[in-house]
Amino acid sequence: MASFTAYQCDTCKSLSSPPHGFCGRCGARSLRSVTLSGRGTLLSFTTIRVPPARFKGQEPYDVAVIDLEEGLRVTARLKVPVRREATIGEGVVFEGLVEEGPLFRLV
């Protein structure tokens, strides 16, 4: 399991990822990077079977919205083993950054 880097506002303490140079909630400019556990649960997900032109050939692939245990919500690619169905509420872990963005897998 890889650790997940996020950004925490020094003023309002809210977490964000990816970084934008200032806090998306309060506007403060002082942020520091924090290392999150990479553990979370599935809020929802889908399997893309009709992809946009530049992802053609990758289908089917899964995209999920994940609640990390520290309170940050992210949208990411999800690796689901063949012959296994994911369910909402199931645990996931961060596997790493791939070309498309963050990748998680089922626990």
Partner 1 sequence: MRGVSVIGIGCTRFGKQNGIGIIDLAVQACREALDDARVPNERVQAFYLGNFVSEALVHQGSLAPMVAYRLGLRTIPCTKVEGACASSGIAFRHGVLMVASGLCDIVLTAGAEKMTSSEITTVTEALASAGDAETEMRLGLTFPGAFGIIMRRHMHQHGTTREQVAMVSVKNRLNGSTNPKAHFQKPITMDDVLGSRLICDPLRLYDCPPISDGAAAAVLCAADVAEEFTDRPIEVIGSGHAMGPGTLFEMADLTTFEATVSAAREAYRMAGVSPGDIDVAEVHDCFSIAEIAATEDLGFVEKGRGGGAVLEGLTALAGPIPINPSGGLLSKGHPVGATGLAQIYEIVRQLRGEAMNQVKDAEIGLAHNLGGTGAVSTVHILKRR
Q: For partner 1, which stretch binds (CB under 8 A), given 3-11, 30-38, 55-63?
A: 55-63
Please check whether residue 42 is in contact with residue 69, taking contact to mean a CB–CB distance below 8 angstroms. no
What is the distance between the alpha carbons of residues 38 and 54, in angstroms, rounded to a whole number? 28
In sequence order, what DSSP letters do the residues of 51-90 get, joined into one string? Answer: --GGGTTS-SEEEEEEEETTS-EEEEEEE--TT----TT-
Residue 12 interacting with partner 1 (CB under 8 A): no
Residue 55 interacting with partner 1 (CB under 8 A): yes
Shortest distance (Å) from residue 69 CB to partner 1: 15
Among 19, 27, 51, 71, binds partner 1 (CB under 8 A): 51
Residue 22 interacting with partner 1 (CB under 8 A): no
Among 9, 15, 23, 76, binds partner 1 (CB under 8 A): 76
CA angle 92–77–100, rounded 5-degree value = 140
User: Given the DSSP bridges, would you call strands 61-68 and 73-79 parallel, antiparallel or unpaired?
Assistant: antiparallel
Residue 93 interacting with partner 1 (CB under 8 A): no
Binding site for partner 1 (CB under 8 A): 18, 43-56, 58, 61, 63-65, 73-77, 88, 100-101
